Amino acid sequence: MSQVIELSGVTKSYPGGVTAVRSVDLSVEYGELVAIVGPSGSGKSTMLHLIGTLDRPSEGTVKIDGHDVATLTDRQLSALRARRIGFVFQQFHLAPGRNVVANVADGLLYAGVPRKERERRAEAALVRVGLGDRLTHRPHQLSGGERQRVAIARAVAGDPAVLLADEPTGNLDSVSGAGVVELLRELNDAGTTVLVITHDHEIASGLPRQVPMRDGEVV
Amino acid sequence: MLLRPARLSASDLLRLGGTGLRARPLRAVLSALGIAIGIAAMTAVVGISASSQANLDRALAALGTNMLTVTPGQTMFGKDSYLPDESVSMIRRIGPVLSATATGSVDAHVYRTDRIPAAQTGGLAVLAAQLDLLSTVGAALAGGSWLNAATARYPAVVLGADAARRLGNPPTVYMQGRWWSVVGVLAPVPLASEINSAVLIGWQAAATYLSFDGHPTTIYTRAVEAQVEAVRGVLAPTANPQQPDEVKVSRPSDALVAQRTANATFTALLLGLGAVALLVGGIGVANTMVISVLERRAEIGLRRSLGATKGQVRTQFLTESLLLSLLGGAAGVLLGYLVTGLYSTTQSWPTVVPLWALAGGVGATVAIGAVAGLYPAIRAARLAPTEALASA
């Protein structure tokens, strides 16, 4: 088993007849760095939800880290996300009142890691993303690029099978954005499977593999 | 690989609930305040009532509940009856009676000086008193001395507490064309309030100077505690064997007990008001939690993506609600205790807050927190992760 993501014939349609994703086949192997690229409305976000097990397909099968999503209960999907999937969002989603270590440690809360161990691993992850000197800062004291690094540290602290980044540079200037992409590349070099979802062809073209999407289909 | 969600430890849950409150401290404090006021009101009501009862109980214990008084009633034709002269000695012969003494109403008016117009009697009664009055009614001297075998024959008076105040603590008083010297002043007598506004003179002096007829008008008796009711039954026929139905017997401590019952009714009413305040506080907490869930959809989405189960999201919000109301409850119980302490100190009562009131206050807040938080928590858990993330 070398495929971390395996989609076959996946369709997602919503009540009211909107079909966001249409019979998509996609497989990503462990250790890959892949970009799903397409304009808004192309079904990228739905792909993220399906691969991230936040939503279930209407048709077809989704297998993540060897688990068929259709056979898992909501609780089991939660456990899968807690241990095997890391998310990075365009809006960072950091808790404003809490320091950087506490924010990153929250990423391990639902994986059953004891508190001291969570903090230890959070610090290690922050050092890994280059924020070793910002441990006691709060999100509002950081730049946008630094905030996204915190979010990435939270996603990788649990050493997930796959890191899903949804428009990770969408709220950043080009220099910070480039830095974040560089960080994702470094993490990939160190062995993490990374899937970036972006509308930015420039970013996508810099990555080893692109999956272009248009109107809910892989083209 | 077995996929089973990890359990959150109790301390993680508490921390999780606390972070939600810390993020908006003012809101947390204000909605906890609603609960606090309700609980404080209820605790204080129960506490003040309990303190007042403790005071009454203390008073009853000190005064004794074994005193009975005998007074003349009315004849069949509506005229005032009187007690026979020998009634006191007859009552003393009842087995379980510990002591019996009497006062007799004297038809005289007392004045501070001879310059006071005769109409200004001040509403003070003049009572001839037997020498063992004090020990039987439980009276104490505030100053001076009580009548003795010598002063009881001469123009000497002892003033009741109110009488002394109304006369202005004079060294002498003027009565029936004669100056009487004040030899003592009594402290207030709770079980025989008629003595407070009376001027007491010796039995013989009353007969000698004020043409007192010698009939006792109030007989005070103390009986063995266990036999009080039995003694009560035979007092009337003993005091006046010819006309036992013209004798009134009462137990002054009954009035204090009745007062306690009246207090309890009033307390129930106030408790009801406190409960309304508590209910309003609970609605405030529910409101805060509903708003909190609406505002924190993005956080809910994030936590779901980090691997929180529906149950864990529900528990987080429920914990937050419980913490919020517990915070209010603890503050309320403390406040209520302080109010009780303050009030009972000013009344010189003992401060008593029953344990059940404290435990009940905290228990009520837990129940309120659970009820108020349940619906918002269920809503938070039902939110689909994709929807929650999209709303950011």
Q: Is A79 in contact with B305 (Cβ distance < 8 A)?
A: no
Please report residues of B whose CB lies closer than 8 A to that of A20. none
CB contact under 8 A, B308 and A110: yes
Can you spell out the DSSP letters for A150-212? Answer: HHHHHHHTT--SEEEEESTTTTS-HHHHHHHHHHHHHHHHTT-EEEEEES-HHHHHTSSEEEE
The pair of three-digit structure tokens given for residue B225, joined into one six-digit string: 């505690």
- pLDDT of B62 over the 90 cut: no
Higher pLDDT, B391 or B387: B387
Q: What ipTM was estimated for this complex?
A: 0.94
Domain containing residue A55: 3-214
Highest mean pLDDT (candidates B32-46, B102-116, B312-326): B312-326
* A183 within some domain: yes
Residue A19: what are its φ and ψ, rounded to 5°? -110, 110
Q: How many domains does chain A divide into? A: 1
Full-model pTM: 0.76
CB contact under 8 A, B306 and A82: yes
Contact A106 B3 (CB under 8 A): no
The reply to whether residue A112 touches residue B307, judged by beta carbons under 8 angstroms, is no
pLDDT for B57: 82
User: Using the beta-carbon criterion (under 8 Å), do A97 and B4 form an inter-chain contact?
Assistant: no
* B78-136 pLDDT per residue, tens: 777 888 888 888 898 888 889 899 999 998 899 988 888 888 888 889 999 999 998 88
Q: Is the pLDDT of residue B264 over 90?
A: no
Does A81 fall in a domain? yes
More confident residue, A101 or B137: A101
Q: What is the pLDDT of chain A when averaged over all its residues? A: 93
**CATH number where A147 lies:** 3.40.50.300
Closest to A55 (Cα-Cα) out of A7, A110, A91: A7
Compute the mean pLDDT over every residue in chain B, rounded to the nearest whole number. Answer: 88
Sign of CA dihedral A38, A44, A47, A51: positive
CB contact under 8 A, B306 and A110: yes
Q: What is the pLDDT of residues A15-41, one digit of tens each?
A: 888 899 999 999 999 999 999 999 988
The secondary structure element, H or E, covering residue A14 is: strand A3-14
The answer to whether B144 touches B185, Cβ cutoff 8 Å, is yes
Residue A208 belongs to some domain of the structure: yes
Measured between beta carbons, which residues in chain A are less than 8 angstroms from residue B309?
A: 74-75, 78-79, 110
Q: How far apart are CA B290 and CA A22, in angstroms?
A: 38
Q: How far apart are CA A165 and CA A162, in angstroms?
A: 10
Check if the beta carbon of residue A118 is closer than 8 Å to that of residue B21: no
A39 in any annotated domain: yes
Chain A residue numbers touching B311 (CB-CB < 8 A): 75
Closest partner CB to A80 (pick from B3, B299, B310): B3
% of chain B beyond a pLDDT of 70:
99
Distance to chain A for B30, nearest Cα, Å = 19
Does the distance separating the beta carbons of A67 and B5 come in below 8 Å?
no
The pLDDT, as a whole number, for residue B379 is 94
Give domain status of residue A219, yes or no. Answer: no
A32, part of any domain: yes
Question: For residues B58 and B260, is the Cβ–Cβ distance under 8 A?
Answer: no
pLDDT at B1 over 70: no
Name the A residues in 155-194 with CB < 8 Å from any B CB. none
Residue type for position B116: I
- The residue among A63, A74, A78, A156 with the most chain B CBs within 10 A of its CB, best to mutate, is A78
The number of beta carbons lying within 10 Å of the beta carbon of residue B258 is 10
A70 touches chain B (CB under 8 A): no
CB contact under 8 A, B23 and A111: no
Give per-residue pLDDT as tens, A35-90. Answer: 999 998 898 989 999 999 999 999 999 999 999 999 999 999 999 999 999 999 99
Confidence of residue B215 (pLDDT cuts 50, 70, 90): confident
CA distance B376 to chain A (A): 20
Work out the average pLDDT over B318-344: 93
Residue to test with chain A: of B7, B305, B389, most A Cβ within 10 A: B305
SS3 B182: strand
